């Protein structure tokens, strides 16, 4: 019973932080599952992917209703990300077949690298946005978007991290969409990517359904509380603190 309460509490805190800072749920939750709840990394990856799917569905519906989604971009990204996700999951399964529990060490290393790269990009996001605001897109074709989806799909398939942050940053760097459209398009695509990834991991037994349900029970009210507090908390500093903590966690994963 105490463990159930702890899982719900973790979901609540992560939900609050997502609502407050806008930092992706995958990058926030995965380290807590691995280090805090001592969930085996491969189960943490599968459970995190499925958790992210359910948490992004409501936001995607809101963006669809508001018209802040480029459907052709979502399609292009998905054409790359779905096979990328399948490839990423298969790579994990191949590593597990060869090295058994050694796959968990591989996941820790991969996640550690992403926990250094993603927070670093997030810290400089505003500066990047200012520099590319009036710049014509450097990529214009459908294939370029599919390649972005492919890269993100492989990363998400192996780590569950990057369905939002990586794609949003790549769209920001190579295309010139308005910020709201960038966010809405990214979230709708993330629903597809995390749904496919979560389903694949579930079929392979890499998901703890009880853990996912417990986290969702906490994260839904947590997200509402965080969104309500967002206008009353200095988000810039909160975002910087979270990124610093994620960087430290990433370093710990790599050098522990």
Q: What does the radius of gyration of the chain's CA atoms come to, in whole angstroms?
A: 17
Alpha-carbon span 93 to 137, nearest angstrom: 37
pLDDT digits 0-9 by tens, 28-46: 888 889 988 999 999 999 9
Neighbours of 168 (CB within 10 A): 24
* Residue 6 clears pLDDT 70, i.e. is over it: yes
pTM of the entire predicted model: 0.87
| DSSP character string of 126-138 | HHHHHHHTTSPPS
pLDDT digits 0-9 by tens, 51-110: 999 988 888 888 888 888 888 889 999 999 999 999 999 999 999 999 998 899 999 999
pLDDT digits 0-9 by tens, 222-238: 887 877 776 676 767 77
Alpha-carbon span 30 to 52, nearest angstrom: 11
pLDDT digits 0-9 by tens, 159-175: 998 777 788 777 777 77
Neighbours of 161 (CB within 10 A): 30
Q: Where are the domains of the chain?
A: 2-255
Work out the pLDDT band at 141, boundaries 50, 70, 90: confident
């Amino acid at each position: 019973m105490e463990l159930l309460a702890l899982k719900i509490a973790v979901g609540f805190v992560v939900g609050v932080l997502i609502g407050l800072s806008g930092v992706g749920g995958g990058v926030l939750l995965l380290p807590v599952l691995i280090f805090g709840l001592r969930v085996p990394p491969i189960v943490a990856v599968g459970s995190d992917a499925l958790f992210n799917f359910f948490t992004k569905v409501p936001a995607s519906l809101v963006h669809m209703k508001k018209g802040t989604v480029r459907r052709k971009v979502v399609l292009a990204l998905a054409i790359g990300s779905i096979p990328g996700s399948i490839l990423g999951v298969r790579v994990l399964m191949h590593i597990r077949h060869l090295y058994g529990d050694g796959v968990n060490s591989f996941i820790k290393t991969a996640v550690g690298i992403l926990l250094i790269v993603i927070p670093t990009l997030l810290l400089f996001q505003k500066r990047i946005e200012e520099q590319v605001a009036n710049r014509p897109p450097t990529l214009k074709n459908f294939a370029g978007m599919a390649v972005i989806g492919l890269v993100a799909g492989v990363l998400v398939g192996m780590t569950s991290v990057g369905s939002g942050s990586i794609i949003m940053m790549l769209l920001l760097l190579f295309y010139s969409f308005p910020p709201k459209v960038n966010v809405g398009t990214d979230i709708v695509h993330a629903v597809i990517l995390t749904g496919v990834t979560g389903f694949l991991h579930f079929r392979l037994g890499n998901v703890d359904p009880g853990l996912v349900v417990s986290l969702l029970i906490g994260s839904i009210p947590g997200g509402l509380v965080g969104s309500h507090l967002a206008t009353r908390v200095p988000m810039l500093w909160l975002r910087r603190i979270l990124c610093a903590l994620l960087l430290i966690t990433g370093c710990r994963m790599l050098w522990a």
